Amino acid sequence: MRIFVTGASGWIGSAVVPELLDAGHRVVGLARSDASAAALTEAGAEVARGTVDDLGVLREAAAASDGVIHLAFKHDIAFSGDFRGAAEADRRAVDAFGEALAGTDRPFVLASGVAGLAPGRLTTERDLPTLDASPMSVRAATSLAVLDLASRGVRSSVVRLSPTCHGEGDNGFMATLIATARARGASGYLGDGTNRWPAVHRLDAARLFRLAVEKAPAGSVLHGVAEEGVALSEVAEVIGRHLGVPVTSVAPEAATEHFGWMGGFVGLDVPVSSALTRDLLDWQPTHPGLLDDLDKGHYFHTAS
The answer to whether 199 and 166 have CB atoms below 8 angstroms apart is yes
Q: From CA 70, how far away is CA 100, in angstroms rounded?
A: 14
pLDDT at 303: 52
pLDDT tens digits, one per residue of 92-129 = 999 999 999 999 999 999 999 987 787 778 999 999 98
Provide CB contacts within 8 A for 180, sequence distance 6+.
188, 258, 259, 260, 262
pLDDT value for 302: 63
Mean pLDDT value across residues 229-247: 97
Query: What pTM value is reported for the model?
Result: 0.94
* Mean pLDDT computed over 255-275: 93
pLDDT over threshold 50, residue 178:
yes
Q: What is the residue type of 229?
A: G
Could you read off the pLDDT of 130-166 as tens digits, one per residue?
888 887 888 889 999 999 999 999 999 999 999 999 9
Across the chain, mean pLDDT equals: 94
Higher-pLDDT residue of 90, 131? 90
Comparing 40-44, 115-119, 154-158, 199-203, the range with the smallest average pLDDT is 115-119
Give the whole-angstrom CA distance, residue 142 versus residue 88.
9
Write down the pLDDT at residue 77.
Answer: 84
Please compute the mean of the pLDDT values over residues 210-215 and round it to a whole number: 98
CA 147 to chain centre: 17
b/e map 15-50, b = 16+ CB within 10 Å? bbbebbeeeebebbbbbbeeebbebbeeeebebbeb
| E runs forming strands in the chain | 2-6, 26-31, 46-49, 67-70, 107-113, 155-161, 164-166, 187-190, 196-201, 220-224, 227-231, 247-250
* Confidence class for position 195, pLDDT limits 50, 70, 90: very high
Contact 28/46 with Cβ under 8 angstroms? Answer: yes
DSSP 108: E
Provide the pLDDT for residue 136. Answer: 80
| Alpha carbons 253 and 174: distance in angstroms, whole number | 22
- Say if strands 227-231 and 196-201 run parallel, antiparallel, or are unpaired: antiparallel
pLDDT for 304 equals 45
For residues 191 and 264, the model is more confident at 191
Q: What is the per-residue pLDDT across 45-77, written as a single tens digit (0 to 9) for each?
A: 999 999 999 999 999 999 999 999 999 998 888
In degrees and rounded to multiples of 5, residue 288 shows phi and psi of -55, 145
Q: Measured in whole angstroms, how far is the alpha carbon of residue 230 from the centre of its chain?
A: 17
> At a CB cut-off of 8 Å and minimum separation 6, what does 219 contact?
147, 150, 156, 157
In the predicted structure, residue 183 carries a pLDDT above the cut 80: yes
